[in-house]
Amino acid sequence: MANPAVRLARDFPWFHRWIGLIGNTGFVIGSILFLVPGLVYSGTWIFVLASTGMMIDSAGEKILRREEERRKTETA
């Protein structure tokens, strides 16, 4: 039985992709807010949260690739 992270990444691949897309968008917005002196604090938190979203996307993609490689070796 697969662990919950593997099942989530395998059964809902769109989930981590959307979180990654939202993360990428937030990353750009946070970066722009760094340029406005009064919004640096908000930009920092958006940047941190967006980076977390991008990390979730990368982790989900890695899980999917590892599962695909495991299946290929089992069938070979």
Distance between CA atoms of 38 and 1, rounded to whole angstroms?
50
Distance between CA atoms of 56 and 8, rounded to whole angstroms?
12
Residue 53 structure tokens: 């979203």
Distance between CA atoms of 23 and 48, rounded to whole angstroms?
9
DSSP H helices in 1-76: 4-11, 13-33, 40-75
The single-letter DSSP state of residue 34 is: T
The single-letter DSSP state of residue 36 is: S
Q: What pTM was estimated for this model as a whole? A: 0.73
pLDDT in tens, 23-48: 899 999 999 999 999 999 999 999 99
